[in-house]
Amino acid sequence: MPEPLRLGIAGLGTVGVGVVKIVQNHAELLRLRTGREIAITAVSARDRTKNRDADISGYAWETDPVALAGRKDIDVFVEVMGGANGPAKAATEAAIAAGKDVVTANKALLAHHGQALAEAAETAGRVIRFEAAVAGGIPVVKALTEGLAGNRLKRVMGVMNGTCNYILTRMENAGLPYEAVFEEARQLGYLEADPSLDVDGIDAGHKLSLLASIAFGTKVSFDAVELEGIGHVSIEDIRRAADMGYRIKLLGVAQMTGRGLEQRMSPCLVPAESPLGQLQGGTNMVVLEGDSVGQIVMRGPGAGQGPTASAVMSDVIEIARGSRIATFGQPALSLVDAIPAKAAAPAPYYLRMELLDKPGALAKVAAVLGDAGISIDRMRQYGHADISAPVLIVTHKTTRDAIDLAIRGFAATGVVEGQTVAIRIEEV
Amino acid sequence: MPEPLRLGIAGLGTVGVGVVKIVQNHAELLRLRTGREIAITAVSARDRTKNRDADISGYAWETDPVALAGRKDIDVFVEVMGGANGPAKAATEAAIAAGKDVVTANKALLAHHGQALAEAAETAGRVIRFEAAVAGGIPVVKALTEGLAGNRLKRVMGVMNGTCNYILTRMENAGLPYEAVFEEARQLGYLEADPSLDVDGIDAGHKLSLLASIAFGTKVSFDAVELEGIGHVSIEDIRRAADMGYRIKLLGVAQMTGRGLEQRMSPCLVPAESPLGQLQGGTNMVVLEGDSVGQIVMRGPGAGQGPTASAVMSDVIEIARGSRIATFGQPALSLVDAIPAKAAAPAPYYLRMELLDKPGALAKVAAVLGDAGISIDRMRQYGHADISAPVLIVTHKTTRDAIDLAIRGFAATGVVEGQTVAIRIEEV
């Protein structure tokens, strides 16, 4: 039997402890599946004395993750601290410099520094694996990098932030406004310390940018992800969208088009009956579309100790088995700069407006749409007691520019009250 | 750059031609993703002159796949002929003996001879990969063997025969009986030459037995799969099940229990709102449950040229990248004999009977259930013009033995007409 594979684990929070548990509880299983022993040699965390749900007394202790990364007695540096910069970055760089392979759950780190880290690792003949960084326990990095590697990828989509999906689902099911559910989620401990990472789509955007790099052979370009959070999603639109057969999801979409690479993380409507539309609560879902395979949908837990540790361990096992795959599925130096698409591909849009109860009002709205080159798929006007009536329109495919033109046009008609809401309908 | 990886493709039907197309059309992509050239050296099929949707003139031709397998100028033998025995088996054995790696789409071959072939390959230092043999384009073999390798697997389920799911879906949507839809499927070319492979669950059972081996570290034991086809599923039960919130699926379930390994491929009820219940038409779905990760659901095309070729290519790419994973995820010699569970784990059951319209009839039925130790979760009696009324019962968890006892008891009451239908409800 070959030498044991020796791990140094940086970070003993929920995920780190989960990894320790798997290594301890499944030693024999791991030996059978990898042909060698997986051993934890050393660990690091902020506080050595903290009460943890795992026995770490048998491992060497380092207070400084950089020191851990450089230890002679580890082969793989497991980074489960988090944070785009600071110790996580310094320690990962140190690990590569010291000739270690790296397994990380850190989406922020890779979204911001993935290209540089991948180049450094490949120059040093080391690998960086990051299954746990995207969609928790769903083995989507592997599915994309390996399972679909015979395909030219066309589109990658996903609901990849469980907290946002929990909030949107709960708003719909309980009929509560965003602010109330946000507060609930905060009290339940579902939100990151900085909640904007969740609700502004940043965390999910990090994940999307990593999948896009693998899918399209482009350098990670998180800065090019068009981000829009869920803070403006109203309970009214959730209800109206449901009336029209849709649900609102914080949906990430990356696709390569003739106009460049599109990367969007934003509230979208999807058919309520589609797998994405059916997704409730904190579960994640990723949709991969390739030219040969068609559409593959993967669904599973996007966070939590067990699922995330499972993903970390899949990378450790891959390394233990001797597999050496480039960070983003092809050599980092062969990844090209993504040309960001200036505008999103055409799509149907959902429009909601308050129409004043005046003769000819609807005709004026229809004329504005016609002038903007937008045709109507479906329209619904609701009964009203007030001076204005809610009107919903589902358009045929059009551009965001045309929609913005129409919205300005509505304002000028004098028959549309307040701001018209427009939300993209993603065809899934 | 390393030497090209040279493929010999045995079989130029739909799948073989699909593989040729990917190799030809994505040469540059494959080079980037594997670091080497993927080349087809030689092919074999029954008829050289047949008109094919791909140019094979540049490849050496062999009429005999065994001769192809032994050629000095191939590294990987790609077996896409099919058949549990005969040329596919002989050629695969010859390939291993000649020191080739094997990529196969042949579930029947592996279900019957997987253990012997895996042992032979591992003794020779060769790998056998078979992503395309299970659930077409869904990268489920990879997900199980690699993505979830840090888990003790608890249960593997799936709808893995698209034709059966098409038939059941079409029966429900069109209100047609089994025989009519079977005939439709035959005319559409959806059925195997021997339709019993599809409708008796044999094909799906082959796939289940392969997943079970990986999941539980047991030798493939297709003979131990409890098989029940869809031929007895009635339109009446499809409708009544829908009334109670269920759909009928040909569902494969493999789980390790205290009483041994359970492998079943049979019509089951699943909640209509569950991912499995929502699955329409020819699409496949596999559900993987591990102790750390929880539940992962994968959905995608289970057949067809592009999806199956995509799966074949993922294996070719894995080999090109230098990955060497044991056929069933751990050394073949370490796989243990499965002890088949004598009975399926307890589950709720759906019962449908015709109850004669007599005073006390329902009380008699309830008494029989009580005597068998079965408690009722839900019951529904339908209005009727006839002398008997349809009665549906959903039980709480019970055993198949108890259900069979109750069915015999019903017959003895004199108030139940004809045969009571009992279908397992799988908790998903």
Interchain pair A22, B292: CB under 8 A: yes
pLDDT given for residue A218 in this prediction: 98
Contacts of residue B30 in chain A, CB cutoff 8 Å? Answer: 149-150
Kindly list the distances between the CA atom of residue A342 and the CA atoms of A345, A398, A400, B140, B270, in Å, as whole numbers in the listed order: 9, 15, 11, 36, 45
Distance between CA atoms of B51 and B117, rounded to whole angstroms?
Answer: 33
| Residues B19, B38 contacting (CB under 8 angstroms) | no
Q: Give the tens place of pLDDT for each residue, B10-34.
A: 999 999 999 999 999 999 999 999 9
pLDDT given for residue A83 in this prediction: 93
For residue B387, pLDDT over 90 is answered with no
Active site residues of B: 207
What is the average pLDDT score of chain B?
96
Could you give the residue ranges of the DSSP H alpha helices within B254-298? 275-278
Closest CA to B319 of B29, B19, B22, B34: B34
Interchain pair A33, B148: CB under 8 A: no
Which pLDDT band holds residue B2 (cuts at 50, 70, 90)? Answer: confident
Q: Give the tens place of pLDDT for each residue, A153-192.
A: 999 999 999 999 999 999 999 999 999 999 999 999 999 8
Lowest mean pLDDT among A97-106, B102-111, B375-384: B375-384
Report the complex ipTM: 0.96
For residue B97, pLDDT over 80 is answered with yes
Which pLDDT band holds residue B185 (cuts at 50, 70, 90)? Answer: very high
What is the mean pLDDT of each successive set of 10 residues along chain A, which is 428 residues long?
A: 94 97 98 98 94 94 97 98 95 98 98 98 98 98 98 98 96 96 93 93 98 98 97 96 97 95 98 94 96 98 97 98 97 96 94 93 95 96 86 97 97 94 96
Q: What is the mean pLDDT of residues B234-242?
A: 96
For residue B383, pLDDT over 90 is answered with no
For residue B65, pLDDT over 90 is answered with yes
Q: Does B271 touch chain A (CB under 8 A)?
A: no
For residue B209, pLDDT over 90 is answered with yes
Kindly list the distances between the CA atom of residue A91 and the CA atoms of A42, A43, A376, B59, in Å, as whole numbers in the listed order: 14, 13, 55, 51
pLDDT given for residue B70 in this prediction: 98
For residue B193, pLDDT over 90 is answered with no
Interchain pair B296, A292: CB under 8 A: no
Which pLDDT band holds residue B90 (cuts at 50, 70, 90)? Answer: very high
Global pTM?
Answer: 0.97
Q: What is the mean pLDDT of residues B345-349?
A: 96
Chain B nearest-CA distance from A362, in A, is 38
| Residues A73, A97 contacting (CB under 8 angstroms) | no
A212, amino acid identity = A
The shortest CB-CB distance from A300 to any of B217, B295, B311 is to B295
pLDDT given for residue A91 in this prediction: 98
Which pLDDT band holds residue B1 (cuts at 50, 70, 90)? Answer: confident
Which B-chain residues 125-144 have CB contacts (< 8 A) with chain A? Answer: 131, 137-139, 142-143
Chain B nearest-CA distance from A354, in A, is 35
Q: Give the tens place of pLDDT for each residue, A120-134.
A: 999 999 999 999 999
The shortest CB-CB distance from B294 to any of A26, A147, A300 is to A300
Distance between CA atoms of B12 and B302, rounded to whole angstroms?
Answer: 19
Distance between CA atoms of B81 and B84, rounded to whole angstroms?
Answer: 10
